[in-house]
């Protein structure tokens, strides 16, 4: 594993200066790309009263705009991420296609693996950090890095964004 201290210091500085949710998530996105790697980075919230998921941050506004919403589907992904607060990991486009209706677009963007990290605040899942890369990218070591390096920064960025 490379030295992550400079990346964490840069994140801390950027977050301490952030005045908007976009700036907070920009810092988290940069940290993610430097430490673990991502071709696509988004953050989604879930309004369980309206049963709608909403993209509140994206690094690809053309293909995944923040105006996007989608219905919350009560499926195995939902139970894993929202119910048990566990990350969802898929390393093939075929696996992604079993839970995400936009798998074709994901593939066109050169992505074939995903980690959806639940962001927990106050004991409640308030959002997911979604990172995507080429097929097979999120191996056990990288998934461990996501949990070890990015869970607390994701919580900090989300807390600031709220």
What pLDDT band is residue 67 in, cutting at 50, 70 and 90?
confident
Long-range contacts of 42-50 (CB under 8 A, 24+ apart): 42/129, 42/130, 43/119, 43/127, 43/128, 43/129, 43/130, 43/158, 44/127, 44/128, 44/130, 45/126, 45/127, 46/72, 46/82, 46/125, 46/126, 46/127, 46/128, 47/72, 48/72
What tens digit of pLDDT does each residue of 83-135 get? 999 999 999 999 999 999 899 999 999 999 999 999 999 998 999 999 999 99
Query: Stretch 139-154: mean pLDDT, rounded?
Result: 97
- Residue range(s) defining the domain that contains residue 104: 5-161
Report the number of distinct structural domains present in the chain.
1
Judged against a pLDDT cut of 70, whether residue 1 lies above it is answered with no
Q: Is the pTM of this model over 0.85?
A: yes
Q: What's residue 2's pLDDT?
A: 67
Mean model confidence pLDDT for the chain? 94
- Domain CATH code at residue 34: 3.30.450.40
């Amino acid at each position: 594993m490379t030295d992550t201290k400079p990346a964490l210091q840069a994140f801390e500085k950027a977050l301490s200066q952030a005045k908007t949710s976009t700036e907070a998530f920009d810092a988290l996105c940069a940290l993610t790309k430097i430490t673990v790697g991502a071709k696509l980075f988004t953050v989604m919230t879930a309004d369980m009263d309206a049963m709608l998921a909403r993209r509140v941050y994206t690094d690809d506004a053309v293909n995944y705009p923040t105006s996007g919403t989608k219905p919350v589907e009560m499926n195995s992904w939902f139970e894993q991420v929202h119910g048990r607060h566990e990350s969802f990991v898929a390393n093939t486009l075929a696996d992604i296609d079993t839970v995400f209706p936009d798998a074709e677009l994901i593939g066109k963007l050169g992505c074939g693996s995903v980690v959806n990290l639940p962001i927990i605040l106050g004991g409640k899942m308030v959002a997911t950090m979604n990172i995507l890369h080429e097929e097979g990218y999120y191996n056990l070591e990288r998934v461990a890095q996501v949990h070890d390096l990015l869970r607390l920064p994701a919580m900090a960025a989300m807390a600031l964004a709220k």
